[in-house]
Amino acid sequence: MDRVFIPGLAIVMALFATPLFFDLALCIAGNLFRARRPKAAELRPIHLAVVVAAHDEEAMIARTVESLLAAGCGAEVFVVAHNCSDGTAQAAAHAGARVVELNNRKLRGKGAALRHGFAAALAAGANAVLVVDADSVVSANLIEATRAILEQGAEAAQCRYELQWTALGIQPLERLRALAFRGMNVLRARGRAGLGLSTGLFGNGFAVTAATLKRVPFSASSIAEDVEYHTKLVEAGVPVYWIEDAFVHGHSPALGRAQATQEARWEGGRLRVASRATKHLLGALLHGRWQAIETLADVWSLPLSRGIVTLLLTVFLAVHWLHVYALVCAAIATLYVVQAALLGDETMRDLAALGAAPLYIFWKALITPMVLRQSRSRAEWARTKREAPQP
């Protein structure tokens, strides 16, 4: 019995971990190269508008709008006050945004709010939109850099997206969380861009042209609307380009139930998108769109913490090839973490925070039931409870 069961289990474990470590290896290699740029025969005029989907964001929306207006360059800011029960609309208008209210309890997802905002922006004369979350601050060059890459021929683009912590130098778990976030949303994106692949969308700091929205309608309805729409772009052969020198910083709650809920939504939403998009991505691959193979690996990748747990479990199986495979994957994970730390401003402190990794992995294991619940179709977009940052 063991002669069949143990080798079979070893194969299952390897298959379980392969998408993650294959994707990490690609992205590590890609970071050795510069991101490619679009090549248009001539610059095209871009009339960019910013769309901010906001649900009960009264405490933070003014800061976001002011940050966007400070970036300037004539881009109008549209705030979609979506099923709000607070003063989000008034705060956004007072800060200088153009407010579009959407009060329809049947339209509950962030995707619905974005579609409403896109329609308003395009009707007002924009031919491209930039999406920014309602709890973010942006770099002063974000709008200029986004417009520039779209003018050069890009149909979609994504900038750097990192977390903003008020106690980053004090709490190791928070620093570790920021490091993991940088790996997912910066290192992997840069790596894909270096290999000439589609960078990916992260829900905050991405832009798309009106022509692309017409060709690939933004019909995403899941919690992970960014991942869902990116799979549709890859299927249609529309690459997302990387904006290296501009960023958005999103505010994140401290580790606790609020953060657990947010992480569960992200992971559960990705799991649902993976189950729904696989057939379409395989079809794209069969039609010669080879970039789809990396997107498949990405959507089926475990979070790194769960991948590490899988590697640790291999020691209990007396299968030599599996142990070799686990050592190779561990080396890939180590290079990935070091590379992510090197992309930050405090590399040594980021690496020192790895001492808190066992606690972080344990915490991630505890929220697994929440992840599985959020992967179901009835899971909805909801505001994560968090305190407004101090001015």
Q: Which of 117, 55, 108, 53 is nearest to 86 (CA)?
A: 55
What mean pLDDT is reported for the chain?
88
The mean pLDDT of 200-224, rounded to a whole number, is 92
The mean pLDDT of 145-156, rounded to a whole number, is 96
Tell me the chain's radius of gyration from C-alpha atoms: 21
Reported as a pLDDT band with limits 50, 70 and 90, residue 178 is confident
Any residues with CB less than 8 A from the CB of 159 and at least 6 apart, and which?
142, 145, 146, 205, 206, 243, 246, 247, 248
Q: Which of 160, 149, 178, 130 is nearest to 248 (CA)?
A: 160
Query: Residue 258: its pLDDT value, please?
Result: 63
Residue 107 has pLDDT above 90, yes or no: no
Residue 8 has pLDDT above 60, yes or no: yes
The residue written with tokens 């520039």 in the block is 148
Query: Residue 1: its pLDDT value, please?
Result: 44
Cβ neighbours around 2 below 10 Å, total: 8
Query: Residue 382: its pLDDT value, please?
Result: 59
Residue 145 has pLDDT above 80, yes or no: yes
Do residues 131 and 106 touch, judged by C-beta distance below 8 A?
A: no
Q: Which of 212, 220, 185, 176 is nearest to 363 (CA)?
A: 176
Query: Residue 169: its pLDDT value, please?
Result: 47
Kindly list the strands in the beta sheet with 48-54, ordered across the sheet, starting from the edge strand earlier in the chain.
98-102, 76-82, 48-54, 128-131, 206-209, 156-164, 241-251, 136-138
Query: Residue 232: its pLDDT value, please?
Result: 95
Residue 374 has pLDDT above 90, yes or no: no
The residue written with tokens 């309805």 in the block is 221
pLDDT digits (tens, 9 = 90+) for 311-365: 999 988 989 999 999 999 999 999 999 999 999 888 998 899 898 888 888 877 7
Q: Is the dihedral of CA 145, 146, 147, 152 positive or negative?
A: positive
Do residues 173 and 283 touch, judged by C-beta distance below 8 A?
A: no
220 HSE (CA, 13 A, CB side): 28
Q: How far apart are CA 118 and CA 158, in angstroms?
A: 17
Helices (H), 72-187: 88-95, 110-123, 142-151, 172-182
pLDDT digits (tens, 9 = 90+) for 261-271: 677 777 777 88
- In the DSSP assignment, the letter for residue 200 is -
Phi and psi, residue 176, nearest 5°: -65, -40
From residue 330, how far is each of 15, 175, 270, 315, 318 by CA, in Å?
15, 21, 24, 13, 18
The residue written with tokens 């490619």 in the block is 36
